[in-house]
């Protein structure tokens, strides 16, 4: 079978006891970046072999991996941080396993958008998770759709493109739309700031922005 195992998005303590046990028991761990995952495994003294599984090779190796799983091997899939399949590799392998009748079990655990959404103070009873916007083609179309939604929506963004993203949101939503920028979640310099889009742009224009970014925007 295949276990999909969430890993910490920052603080290494944000992993479940069950996840640690599974990572120790499986035959191998499929990792987005074996160097990043090795640091986590070493921290918890997990000796399970690591194999590479990332966006650039997943199409080529999915069939071989599912053949091994079908023969009785048990593996765990991890990404660099958070839950595999959420803006990270994982969907193709999970789908291939389901089609071959291989059991897939996803453990609950860390993901960036949930703490950002809840801590933002914006309505979260109904929300839309978008993840990363297209860099070029289709970006404006998606923004037009998202900014017309009646409920909160959530984006992932690079720190290098945050100001551009805020400018685009202002152009579609206006300066007064409430939003939240969350960065470095669960880490030492965590910041969660909720304000108008204009105030967020002013705030983040005055500092060097680092870390993974979650942008939460109120609905219309």
Q: Please say if the pLDDT value at position 152 is more than 90.
A: yes
Q: Among all chains, which residue has been given the structure tokens 């046990």? A: 21
pTM of the shown model: 0.92
For the stretch 188-198, pLDDT in tens is 999 999 999 99
What's the pLDDT band for 58 if we cut at 50, 70, 90? confident
Evaluate whether 27 touches 73 at the Cβ level (below 8 Å).
Answer: yes
CATH topology of domain 2-106: Cobalt-precorrin-4 Transmethylase; domain 1 (3.40.1010)
Q: Please say if the pLDDT value at position 187 is more than 90.
A: yes
Evaluate whether 159 touches 209 at the Cβ level (below 8 Å).
Answer: yes
Distance CA 132, CA 154 (A): 9
What's the pLDDT band for 55 if we cut at 50, 70, 90? confident
Q: What is the CATH number of domain 113-217?
A: 3.30.950.10
Closest to 150 (Cα-Cα) out of 177, 175, 170: 177
For the stretch 175-185, pLDDT in tens is 999 999 999 99
Q: Please say if the pLDDT value at position 10 is more than 90.
A: yes
The predicted structure's pLDDT at residue 32: 93
Q: Mean pLDDT of all residues in the chain?
A: 96
What's the pLDDT band for 57 if we cut at 50, 70, 90? confident
The predicted structure's pLDDT at residue 117: 98
Distance CA 8, CA 40 (A): 9
Query: Domain map of the chain by residue range?
Result: 2-106, 113-217
- Cβ burial of 124 (10 Å; 0-12, 13-18, 19+) is middle
Q: What percent of the chain has pLDDT over 90?
A: 95
For the stretch 90-146, pLDDT in tens is 999 999 999 999 999 999 999 999 999 999 999 999 999 999 999 889 999 999 999
Strand boundaries in the chain, DSSP class E: 2-4, 28-31, 50-52, 75-78, 104-106, 127-132, 152-157, 178-183, 191-196, 213-217
- Mean pLDDT (whole number) for 16-25: 98
Fold match, 2-106 / 113-217 = no
């Amino acid at each position: 079978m295949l276990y999909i195992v969430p890993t910490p998005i920052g603080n290494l303590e944000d992993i479940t006891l069950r996840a640690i046990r599974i990572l120790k028991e499986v035959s191998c761990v499929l990792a987005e970046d074996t160097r990043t995952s090795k640091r986590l495994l070493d921290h918890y003294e997990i000796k399970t072999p690591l194999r590479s599984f990332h966006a650039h090779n997943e199409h080529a190796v999915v069939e071989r991996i599912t053949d091994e799983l079908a023969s009785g091997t048990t593996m765990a899939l991890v990404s660099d941080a958070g839950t595999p399949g959420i803006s990270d590799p994982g969907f193709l392998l999970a789908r291939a396993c389901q089609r071959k009748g291989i059991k897939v079990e996803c453990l609950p655990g860390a993901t960036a958008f949930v703490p950002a959404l809840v801590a933002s103070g914006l309505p979260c009873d109904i929300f839309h998770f978008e993840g990363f916007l297209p860099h070029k083609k289709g970006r404006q179309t998606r923004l037009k759709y998202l900014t017309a939604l009646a409920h909160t929506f959530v984006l992932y963004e690079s720190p290098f493109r945050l100001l551009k993203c805020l400018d685009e949101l202002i152009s579609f939503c206006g300066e007064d739309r409430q939003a939240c920028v969350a960065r470095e979640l669960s880490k030492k310099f965590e910041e969660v700031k909720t304000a108008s889009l204009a105030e967020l742009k002013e705030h983040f224009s005055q500092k060097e922005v680092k870390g993974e970014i979650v942008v939460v925007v109120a609905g219309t």
